[in-house]
Amino acid sequence: MIKVGVLGSGSMGSGIAQVAATAGHNVVLVDNNPEALNSAKSKLQKIMNRLIEKGRLDAQTAADIQERISYELSMDAFASCGLVIEAIIEDLDIKKTVFRRLEEIVSSDCLIASNTSSLSISAIGSALEKADRFLGIHFFNPAPLMKLVEIIPALQTSDSNLTLARETINSWSKITVLAKDTPGFIVNRIARPFYSEALRMYDEGIADFATIDWALTEIAGFRMGPFTLMDYIGNDINYKVTETVYASFFYDGRFMPSFTQKRLADSGYYGRKAGRGYYDYSEGAEMPLANKDMDLGKQIADRVVVMLINLAADTLFMQVANESDIDLAMTKGVNYPKGLLAWANELGLQNCVDKLDALYDEYREERYRCCPLLRRMARDGQTFFNK
């Protein structure tokens, strides 16, 4: 069994290390910050203790998992690894510099991967002399709990290395989907309206945070409302991804960020971790009550859902992924109540087109333009998974 290297001991990197070690691999977790490494080791100990308390692991298995992870300060420790996954800051220049150095250390047949959520895999791979063994392996946070992993080949990735990487991650009890190297891949591309359209409705004064969250959980069936979720993710992180995707799509209006979220991020109102975001999490603070008007709630839910469906259809139209992987990604990667293409079938494709056209007629903005594939399929009486 190959040794696995993970670069970066933050929550994502340490989570990936835990997943690989649980699957039986010896793992090298590298970070040049000793405090971060000590924190990662301490947090893993707490996680293992909780799993033992809940009866999900016995003490010996937990000890074995921890024993398989070594914590190192230098990338030189990657020399004997067969797979190295990078999980550091989302900065293209920094990643390129790191991968140039990494390639000098690892063997010529070592698979090299980035866990980036928004940067171009091909652009990162351009820093490597032997880029055919480089690809994107994008986990979702928290990595030990989230089943989905997006596999993204660069233009340079060989078919054999792509197959090897996917088989390896599948063996870790993960569900993999294949995505083209485009901004946001599958999940972060399609999911943007869940946040942006909720923010737009707030900005317009249609409803407040609590009401929009209520509509999307109680009526649409999402596990968490967009404002609660953004506060959980962190508004600094969520805004940065939104901004990156927007710029990467050449400033396509469908991905435009919100000034409301930018102001929160600029003010340090990051959400739960800061004690303040869209909601106040300070001690004694009361959560606002939603306006549970069903007509208003349905209007909110319908608007967000058709916007999500439109981007799911566009993701298929632009051949980023196939139908099955698109719906699998959204149900397993972000726990949507239904696959969006299956949801479109349920609502009726023509109904989705009509709702999008009504929004476009009202606003005359590019964000509401209907995907040509969705319009074409509605016109021809087709449904997804049955074309």
CA dist 171 and 174 (Å) reads: 7
Q: pLDDT over 90 for what percent of the chain?
A: 95
Q: Reply yes or no on whether the pLDDT at 387 is more than 80.
A: no
Does the pTM exceed 0.85? Answer: yes
Task: Indicate the average pLDDT of the chain.
Answer: 96
CA distances 356 to 5, 72, 310, 367, 375, Å, are 46, 52, 8, 10, 10
Residue 69, SS3 per DSSP: strand
Q: Reply yes or no on whether the pLDDT at 189 is more than 70.
A: yes
Burial zone of 34 (CB within 10 Å; 0-12 exposed, 13-18 middle, 19+ buried)? exposed
* 319-358 tens-digit pLDDT: 999 999 999 999 999 999 999 999 999 999 999 999 999 9
303 pLDDT tier (thresholds 50, 70, 90)? very high
CA distances 119 to 178, 202, 248, Å, are 16, 29, 8
CA dist 339 and 307 (Å) reads: 14
- Full DSSP string of 263-317: HHHHTT--BGGGTBSSSB-STTPPPPPP---HHHHHHHHHHHHHHHHHHHHHHHH
pLDDT given for residue 279 in this prediction: 97
Q: By the 8 A CB rule, do 133 and 109 touch?
A: yes
92 pLDDT tier (thresholds 50, 70, 90)? very high
pLDDT given for residue 241 in this prediction: 86
Beta-carbon contacts of 55 under 8 Å, excluding residues fewer than 6 positions away, are none
* 220-248 tens-digit pLDDT: 999 999 999 999 989 998 998 899 889 99
Q: Reply yes or no on whether the pLDDT at 386 is more than 90.
A: no
For the annotated catalytic residues, the residue numbers are: 117, 138, 150, 188
Pairing, β 148-153 against β 134-139: antiparallel
* 247-284 tens-digit pLDDT: 999 999 999 999 999 999 999 999 999 999 999 999 99
Q: What is the mean pLDDT of residues 197-201?
A: 98
Tell me the Ramachandran region of residue 206: left when phi exceeds 0, alpha when psi lies from -120 to 50, beta otherwise.
Answer: alpha
CA dist 5 and 382 (Å) reads: 46
Query: Can you list the domains of the chain with their CATH numbers?
Result: 4-178 (3.40.50.720), 187-387 (1.10.1040.50)
